[in-house]
């Protein structure tokens, strides 16, 4: 087959899963779908925040071009959502569910997430997260994990998969072989998991085995190097991916986004795509074009990887049989998904689950009507991506707020604290105070000046909490912000 062969183009397109720009279907995407493209992944820029029905219409428009495509979205609950990126998730996050440790609640949350995804036309949910958070300073996993216990994470991963797939969507568990003990965000650089393979198997692989035993339809790879298994990141590493197959997994292996710096700035997205297929990956997630460039970046990203695969076939590096096998797996992933969306209501409300997960320390009810919000958080990671602040929105319903954003700087935090009127209450928003660092220093600087400040920690709880009054919320979601608002205003006692 030549690179110009329409049949070869369809084989290549069948393993590609790009993102795109805008809330309408661009012409290049329509043509690629006509030529066999596997589907698309939604990101925040594809969702019209002012129109709740728009995602379903967009999905219908895409399926009008080709009915059997895969539409994926990161819907983890808690901090990570694309469909609710501008409103905040209404579902509890993994860390909250792990803290409550009620498997029925986790299954119900999965069912609710799956039903909401299906109503929007999404048939592959990129979740749950099976990473075990054994590194508090991990910059990208944190409260996206169910917890630091292998056994706890394993049982909640299985429960979440039961819920998601029971709703009619495919779950894609992530990030194999485990991203929970890394110090680097793979969106920004290539992390190393400096553990022996035996330790990885003991601590980090069991949740993925639990996912396989629960019948998960897809597994997403991690762009992390495990030195015991060679120098290639897991996504490009045949030894690591064969270890996934050795668990009995027969579903589809999906790459994490190939536009992430861990791949793009090391081997390159195009060569990385070729290497991933040769290593055993089957569906190539291209990524979010909004993270890399401006107008037209979606087409650039798609062509870069498509043409690299076509060239690899022409050069004899990539066999047609590899594409055929991968495409067949992708087709099986899409089989039997969907159905009529249901208005599923979780057995336990999201608010009740979140309230049970939250830890309150000291006196947090604020008698003042006027409230200064000092946000010392850094920019969200690209995994979260949304800049929306549900805390400020919800608190504005009960208080007259002034929001300042000094960020993780002690000097800027002190200046912001000084600017808040003496009669106003103070709430400090933080999410990286579990370990020493700039953000914790900023919190301490504010509390030293405003001793009655309440610290709302949306990240992992510190092993040794500070002396201040505070709420360990374990997420920055809409439902979490609503519960925090009620606690601060005295609406939930």
Q: How many CB atoms lie within 10 A of CB 57?
A: 15
Q: In whole angstroms, what is the distance from residue 477 CA to residue 144 CA?
A: 12
How many other CB atoms are found less than 10 A from the CB of residue 70? 24
- CA–CA dist 383, 16 (Å, integer): 20
User: CA-to-CA distance for 50 and 34, rounded, in angstroms?
Assistant: 30
Helix (H) or strand (E) holding 174, with range, is strand 170-176
Our answer to whether residue 187 is catalytic in this structure is yes
256 is catalytic: yes
The helix (run of H) or strand (run of E) holding residue 447 is helix 438-449
CA distance 347 to 115: 14
- How far is 97 from 348, CA to CA, in rounded Å? 12
Q: Which of 187, 204, 298, 301 is catalytic?
A: 187
Whether residue 433 contacts residue 325, with contact meaning beta carbons closer than 8 Å, is answered with: no
- What is the spatial distance between Cα 466 and Cα 450, in angstroms, rounded to a whole number? 14
Residue 359: its H or E element: strand 359-361
Q: State the virtual CA torsion across 276, 335, 220, 86 in degrees, nearest 10.
A: 120
Let me know if 239 is exposed, middle or buried by CB neighbors in 10 A (0-12, 13-18, 19+).
middle
DSSP 453: -
Q: Out of 185, 256, 298, 389, pick the active-site residue.
A: 256
Residue the block writes with tokens 């609950």: 77
Contact 175, 187 (CB under 8 A): no
Closest C-alpha to 364, from 463, 491, 490, 474? 490
Residue with tokens 């604020």: 366
The set of catalytic residues is 187, 256
């Amino acid at each position: 087959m030549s690179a110009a062969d329409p049949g070869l183009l369809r084989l290549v397109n069948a393993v590609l899963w790009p993102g795109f720009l805008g809330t309408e279907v661009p012409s290049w995407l329509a043509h690629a779908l006509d030529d066999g493209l596997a589907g698309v992944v939604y990101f925040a820029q594809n969702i019209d925040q002012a129109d709740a029905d728009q995602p379903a219409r967009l999905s219908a428009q895409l399926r009008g071009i080709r009915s059997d495509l895969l539409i994926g979205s990161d819907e983890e609950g808690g901090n990570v959502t694309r469909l609710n990126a501008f409103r905040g998730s209404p579902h509890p996050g993994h860390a909250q569910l792990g803290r409550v440790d009620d498997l029925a609640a986790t299954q119900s949350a999965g069912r609710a997430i799956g039903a909401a995804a299906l109503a929007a036309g999404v048939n592959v949910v990129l979740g749950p997260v099976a990473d075990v958070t054994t590194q508090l300073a991990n910059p990208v996993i944190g409260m996206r994990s169910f917890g630091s216990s292998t056994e706890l994470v394993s049982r909640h991963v299985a429960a979440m998969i039961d819920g998601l797939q029971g709703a009619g969507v495919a779950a894609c568990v992530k990030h194999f072989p485990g991203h929970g003990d890394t110090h680097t965000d793979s969106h920004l650089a290539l992390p190393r998991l400096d553990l022996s393979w035996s330790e990885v198997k003991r601590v980090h692989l069991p949740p993925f085995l639990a996912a396989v035993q629960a019948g998960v339809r897809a597994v997403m790879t991690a762009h992390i190097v495990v030195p015991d298994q060679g120098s290639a990141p897991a996504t490009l590493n045949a030894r690591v991916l064969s270890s996934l197959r050795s668990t009995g997994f027969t579903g589809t292996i999906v790459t994490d986004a190939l536009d992430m710096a861990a791949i793009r700035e090391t081997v390159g997205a195009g060569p990385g795509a070729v290497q991933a297929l040769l290593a055993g990956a089957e569906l190539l997630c291209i990524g979010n074009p909004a993270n890399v460039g401006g107008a037209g970046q979606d087409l650039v990203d798609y062509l870069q990887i498509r043409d690299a695969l076509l060239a690899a076939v022409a050069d004899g590096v990539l066999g047609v049989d590899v594409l055929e096998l991968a495409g067949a797996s992708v087709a099986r992933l899409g089989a039997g998904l969907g159905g009529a969306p249901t208005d599923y209501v979780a057995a336990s409300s999201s608010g009740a689950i979140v309230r049970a997960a939250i830890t309150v320390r000291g006196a947090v009810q604020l008698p003042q009507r006027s409230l200064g919000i000092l946000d010392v958080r850094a920019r969200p990671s690209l995994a979260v991506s949304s800049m929306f602040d549900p805390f400020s929105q919800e608190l504005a319903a009960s208080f007259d707020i002034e929001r300042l954003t000094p960020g993780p700087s002690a000097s800027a935090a002190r200046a912001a604290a000084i600017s808040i009127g003496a009669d106003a209450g103070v709430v400090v928003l933080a999410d990286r105070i579990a370990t020493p660092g700039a953000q914790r220093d900023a919190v301490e600087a504010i509390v030293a000046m405003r001793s009655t400040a309440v610290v709302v920690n949306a990240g992992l709880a510190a092993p040794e909490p500070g002396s201040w009054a505070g709420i360990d919320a374990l997420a920055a979601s809409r439902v979490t912000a609503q519960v925090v608002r009620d606690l601060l205003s005295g609406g939930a006692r």
